[in-house]
Chains A and B, each alone.
Chain A
Amino acid sequence: MANTEETKSIPADPSTDGHTGEERDPLVRGDLSFHDITELVSRHTEKKAPPAWYAAFAVALSGTVLLLALFAYVSWNGIGTWGNNQPVGWGWPIVNFVFWVGIGHAGTLISAILFLFRQQWRTAINRSAEAMTLFAVMCALIWPTFHVGRVWVIYWTLPIPNQMEMWPQFKSPLLWDVFAVSSYFLVSLVFWYVGLVPDLATLRDRAKNFWRKQILGFFSLGWTGSNRHWRNYEKAYLLLAGLATPLVLSVHSVVSFDFAVSVLPGWHTTIFPPYFVAGAIFSGFAMVVTLMVITREIYGLKNLITIDHLEKMNIIILVTGTIVGFAYITEFFMAWYSGVQYEQYAFLNRAFGPYAWAYWIMMTCNLITPQLFWSKKLRRSIPVMFVLSIFVNIGMWFERFVITITSLHRDFLPSSWGYFEPTWVDIGTLVGSFGLFFTLFLLFLRFVPMVAMAEVKGVMPEADPHHYDIGNGHAGDGEPYIEPATITAVERPDRS
């Protein structure tokens, strides 16, 4: 819909599709040149946003306003306006926190872990997935901030020398959360920004407006793309990827420690660290699929974000979904095997107690739906993957709900059994956090190149130094003949 204005027609839809065999799939389809890629990506930041963008932005922004208003309301009136009660002291805020941190993890997986594994297909989706990480981590950080009773002394969680000579307790995983999530945010931001520099320089060089040129010139840090720039850039990127990988695994492990270090049946279990990480990748990839399916359609990026990319993401959803499913079975088996009556009851309560509906939503969405991706036809079908990816995120929200609420509402003493019901504030803040997320994501789509142009160009066949020496060393039809370099006459610079 949006690619009707350009002067030169760049193929936006895949020209070929579907093949099997041992040759590698082309990462970019439609015979695009380097220039076409620049055009395809840059133009969205240079022309006016389509009306649909304004409509979506208005909706998202009103969600953000709702969130801010509700947090003001909660801070003024107290956290009793949430549905939390005495046995269930952790309600939706912590559920939403873990949910949003989990969403963020796919971005780092794509940008860092897949980079370490030399998965070149990551290049087309990496920029938007990293942006998604940043916005999801912002949406996550608001919950630990506002679920406390006294938000104005939240800075006491930081180890700052003070007149009281008081320090935070370093044995609390909630403090580790502060360090984990804030360093995760900072490293992700730096990683994303380092990746952006060459692309911002491209936008700068294309800028026709004075102020646009100034602003982009400032943020692209004088990038000229010299050999030395690129050498240092690649090294820095590799190091950041190497650092971000253990970081991303440790962040969600620390989040899982919030539960696992406790002695509560249903929380205290050792598989939580890897299982939470797998769940985070599972839900995060589902969110990337949801967003990419829409973005490639609306912004005409089907030749860059091809169906093969989406299929690979669906395979990762299948793998991590199966790991999560296996963890459910392990937990259930161990609860029985442990011979501890509280553990056994906690799991029976999940499956057959008052929150059985939540448990079975979780099981259906997380254990069964991803298994449909075993079929190649289904995992290459846009409507199927769109619906399934939303199902996965519903299921993963309920996973955190089930872990948090069902373990709390019935534990050791039957006299302190309760039931948790959310209030309108709980619901409003969750909706509002989606508003904040989409506000930021829409701003990103509007102002920042949504595909890493420099990286996509680097994985195109033409970027291979051996691309033109096919066959007998002579240029074929339609290939430019490149004169071999001769070193007979070396011109010396005139040094007068």
Chain B
Amino acid sequence: MADSVSSNTSLSWLIDPLESTRDAAEGAYQFAGDRRAWLVPLILGFALITISAMGGWQNPDDFFFAYLAGWSFLLTTALGGLLFLIFHHLTRASWSVVVNRINETLVWAFPLLFVLGLPLLFGMHDLYHWTHPELYDPSSSHYDEILAGKRAYLNFPFWCARMVVYFLAWTIVSYRLYTFSVRQDVDPDPSIPAKLRSTSAWGLPLTAVTLAFASYDILMSLDPHWFSTIFGVYFFSGGILSAVAVITLVALLLQNLGGQLQNTITREHYQDLGKYMFGFVVFWAYIAFSQYMLYWYGGIPEETVWFQHRLQNGWGWHSAFLLGFHFVVPFLVLLPRAPKRSHMILSFMSVWVLVMHWFDMHWVVLPVLRESGGFHWLDITCWLGLAGIFGGILMYRLSRHPLVPQNHPFLSESLHFENA
């Protein structure tokens, strides 16, 4: 591998593994904003997280559940972005090359997410019922035969080991995809596209399997009696939708606020991003409905209980909201051609989709804690705080490298792309 870009060695490796190649960027692809672009969201995020932590002192339960919902929102988004990138490398897509760098900066997020996930370890006892030792003691009145049967899988050391394995796998795949591409900007090594593709080829099954098991560990085991085989796909479908929204939103921000990439990302690319957004809205609804309908239809008590919690005592409203605003509204808005080509509508819909994805995570996580529905202010501050830190660092990475993979062999095809 050509070492024309040196690696960061210190802790900043976690934020960006490569030194800045900003000066090597062609004029149009150089990030034009100043440090406010990443400093403002970062500071706001830290402020909100600090406030949340103080609130968490009073209500640790509310804090940890809210934090988990916000953190899952970011984790699924990064995983969705990783898979979106992998798909495009594998299919040798050319239209997406101009937005690939935005996706790549999104994808190098797993070390940061790992660090941001550490506070959850202090809340394990509150979050995960299966961590309570008395459940496994046959002499205790809390003894739970079913959970005792799952103990080989659901136990704290093994859970932590699995987390390390997942994050290691995601970090390795995203490291290769990110660094190869950034190196290509300064050193058009002809072997890089093949390396990106081969990494994607083995990265796809690896990421898919770890993603599914991570969804069982992080979200499904919140209700350890409940199980659903489609849950991993559900986790993926929301995440990839959210990732497409992030890519669209960052592209629009760069263009409309930063004045960047004006003739690079065109309406043609936005239309394609809009199509993907539409497609994954429908895919999410398909998976969500399949899961619900099959459990409603079967009516087996140990399975329906999960939806019962989410349809009663105020949570019914949340479920109806998901149907109406996570599916029906984006479906109708994104169906025609014109809205997908309008900057204004598309930026509105990207924010909409992101809010709905958080709402979806909230709907999965919070009913375990709160039986009667509703929101706590911590839900919002934890989410926005984490998103601020995450988004600030994303913008920081973006500012250090060319905004598009400028030596990509398909770049000119992408620049001239038209929806036929």
Contacts and interface: CB of A to CB of B under 8 A. Distances in A.
Contacts of B230: 270-271, 273-274
Contact of A339 (B150, B193, B290, B420): B150
Given A263-B300, A326-B212, A330-B212, A273 B290 contact: yes
B229 A339 contact: no
Nearest to B94: A24
Interface stretch (A137-145, A150-158, A254-262, A478-486): A254-262
Nearest to B153: A337
Contact of B298 (A20, A253, A262): A262
A261 B297 contact: yes
A261 B293 CA distance: 8
A22 interface: yes
B302 A340 contact: yes
Given A270-B294, A274-B287, A326 B229 contact: no
Contacts of B149: 339
Interface in A304-326: 319, 322-323, 326
Given A22-B190, A246-B282, A261-B297, A330 B290 contact: no
Interface residues of A, number: 34
Contact of B229 (A249, A250, A263, A334): A334
B253 interface: no
Contacts of A246: 282
A249 B298 contact: no
Interface in A262-280: 262-263, 268-274
Nearest to A331: B229
A227 interface: no
Contacts of A322: 205
Most buried by A among B209, B230, B420: B230
Nearest to B145: A339
A302 B46 CA distance: 62
Contacts of A334: 227-229
B295 A270 contact: yes
B286 A330 contact: no
A77 interface: no
Interface string A394-405: 000000000000
B298 A263 contact: yes
B302 A337 contact: no
A260 B295 CA distance: 9
Interface in B150-175: 150, 153
Given A22-B193, A246-B282, A270-B290, A330 B232 contact: yes
Interface in B345-382: none
B227 A253 contact: no
B209 A269 contact: no
A323 B233 CA distance: 11
B191 to A, nearest CB: 10
B216 interface: yes
A250 B300 CA distance: 24
B208 interface: yes
A399 to B, nearest CB: 16
- List the 5 closest A-B pairs by CB distance, nearest first: A271-B229, A270-B230, A22-B409, A339-B146, A261-B297
Given A271-B233, A273-B230, A326-B205, 18 more contacts: A117-B91, A246-B282, A253-B286, A253-B290, A263-B300, A268-B294, A268-B300, A269-B294, A270-B291, A273-B287, A274-B230, A274-B290, A326-B209, A330-B229, A330-B232, A334-B227, A339-B147, A339-B225
Interface of A: 20, 22, 117-119, 246, 249-250, 253, 257, 260-263, 268-274, 319, 322-323, 326-327, 330-331, 334, 337-340, 374
